Amino acid sequence: MKNRLFKFLLGILTVTSTLLVACGDDDSDDGAELSAPEIGTPTEITQNSFFIDWPFVEGAEAYLIDVATDDEFNDLLTSYDALRNGFSEITVTGLEASTTYFVRVQAVLRDVVSDYSNVVSVTTLSEGGNSGSDTFLKNAADFPVGMAVRSNRLTGQHEQILLDEYDQITSEYEMKMNIMYPSEGNFDFTSADATVDWAIDNGLEVHGHALIWHNATPSWVENFSGTDEEFEDMIEDYIKTVVTRYKGKVKSWDVVNEAFEDNTGALRNSVFRQRMGDDYIEKCYNWVREADSEVLIFYNDYSMVIDAVKRRAAINLMKDFIDRGVPVDGFGFQMHISYDFPGKDLIASTAKEVTDLGLLLHFSELDVRANPNNDLVALTNQRALDQQIKVREVVEVYNAIPEESKFALTIWGMRDDETWLVDFWGHPDWPLLYDSDFNTKKAHTGFLEGLD
């Protein structure tokens, strides 16, 4: 507030001094130049207003403000068509809820007008009071909508939002081998049981994630002292023990996760490949089917949209399994993407490669980085809008695949401050549908828009 008052008083002094100089000079303004204003990030956004400001332009006596509903400024608001304003800030009012507006400004000194400023866009809040919607995701979608969870967060607001928005869950990390099988001969299903039991009690489906993953392998397995045959017997026992325990409770499993190297498509040289051979994936899939004849078997990996070589290797393995009768039901695209990449057409074309095989497609770990280049210290309105558009594109692609190919679209976490990406990349980001205060973001609106 003090800063706003200071700017107000400084504006009066600036305008007054400019007018005094102008009145004392009978010469024309020929040759006078004004810099274009630079609008900052819009703030104080409500359902029908927002605030914008910009640094004072030296020599300016006033500013002309345009507000339109299109970025070409063909549809200008009547009250904001070159509106003259004496200060370098304004609260734009009289707007409609859930509407995107575009703003530009020019500086003025008598007959001299600067170039236009940068254009900023602002989306007013919805009638519900935030940038999201009162419509719940699961009610709007004709496919399951999932979220990654942790067992200690299945209470309070987390629980209420889960029950409102989602009809499927995936354990973020507590149904992986290092958690469920921490030491030889000793299983620990405490967290997994809590997660699965909560889902059953509340009528949500469970997608199991993930039985075999090189990054969640206990040290005792990495350093297994027995023979290769004993190692294989141990893995078979582990898989069958877990799958049997949750038979009829867990709908599907990511049986093997991230088995291929980036860019080359070569099989990752994990301990499982070293000890069990190149056909270890096939062995694991067969063991799952032997333990549960109904559970759905998935392969899951990252960069499937952007790494064509890696994707081709995984697709070829799936084709081979289908041809030879090795059990496989679906393919998971992790969908850890950014607000500006990949494009919608590329997502759609790669999704088609899976659905053309007759497999279920799971967009399994969706988050959309808003700060991939670490150029923000806080989520700006523009970047939130960009994120909204990207989420909408992803959902539009998924919603358009054949009905028989739809398995689920899973968001990888609830709130921005709980995302794994901050620790992984080491800088701030806001990749999810809810902010840290449990408010829906524009990304949530984008999801719903993608279903239209």
Residue 148 belongs to domain with CATH number: 3.20.20.80
User: 70: domain CATH number?
Assistant: 2.60.40.10
| pLDDT of 3 | 52
- Average pLDDT (307-311) is 98
Look at residue 385 and tell me if it is in a domain. yes
| pLDDT of 133 | 52
Write down the residue that tokens 């909408």 correspond to: 392
Residue 3, token pair as written in the block:
């800063």
- How buried is 426 (Cβ within 10 angstroms: 0-12 exposed, 13-18 middle, 19+ buried)? exposed
Q: How far is CA 117 from the centre of its chain?
A: 31
| pLDDT of 341 | 97
Same structural domain for residues 74 and 184?
Answer: no
| pLDDT of 125 | 64
Which band of pLDDT confidence, cut at 50, 70 and 90, is reported for residue 193? Answer: very high
Same structural domain for residues 166 and 262?
Answer: yes
Same structural domain for residues 202 and 279?
Answer: yes
The residue among 192, 218, 210, 197 whose CA lies nearest residue 258 is: 210
Residues with a known catalytic role: 258, 365
| pLDDT of 30 | 54
Q: What percent of the chain has pLDDT over 70?
A: 91
Look at residue 132 and tell me if it is in a domain. no
Same structural domain for residues 226 and 317?
Answer: yes
Look at residue 404 and tell me if it is in a domain. yes
- Average pLDDT (288-306) is 98
What is the domain extent for residue 88? 2-123
| pLDDT of 377 | 97
- Average pLDDT (322-336) is 98
Angle (nearest 5°) at CA 412 between 408 and 415: 130
Same structural domain for residues 232 and 84?
Answer: no
Look at residue 130 and tell me if it is in a domain. no
Same structural domain for residues 298 and 169?
Answer: yes
* C-alpha–C-alpha distance, residues 338 and 205, integer Å: 28
Same structural domain for residues 406 and 309?
Answer: yes
Average per-residue pLDDT for the chain: 92
SS3 category, 392: helix
Phi, psi of 63, rounded to the nearest 5 degrees = -135, 145
Look at residue 230 and tell me if it is in a domain. yes
Look at residue 60 and tell me if it is in a domain. yes
Look at residue 128 and tell me if it is in a domain. no
SS3 category, 216: helix
Same structural domain for residues 83 and 189?
Answer: no
Same structural domain for residues 175 and 118?
Answer: no
Same structural domain for residues 232 and 171?
Answer: yes
* Residue 297, pLDDT above cutoff 80: yes
- Between strands 360-369 and 330-333, the pairing is parallel
* Residue 117, pLDDT above cutoff 50: yes
Residue 445, token pair as written in the block:
């609106």
- Average pLDDT (2-30) is 48
In the chain, the number of structural domains is: 2
* Residue 16, pLDDT above cutoff 90: no
* Residues facing residue 104 across a β-bridge: 66
* C-alpha–C-alpha distance, residues 296 and 406, integer Å: 13
Same structural domain for residues 420 and 279?
Answer: yes
Domain boundary among 95, 123, 151: 123
Distances in Å between the Cα of 393 and the Cα atoms of 156, 307, 355 are 31, 19, 18
Same structural domain for residues 159 and 32?
Answer: no
Domain boundary among 100, 123, 146: 123
Distances in Å between the Cα of 421 and the Cα atoms of 42, 417, 425, 431, 439 are 26, 10, 6, 8, 20
| pLDDT of 129 | 36
Domain boundary among 70, 100, 123: 123
Residue 45, token pair as written in the block:
């956004």
| Torsion sign, CA atoms 116, 120, 124, 129 | negative
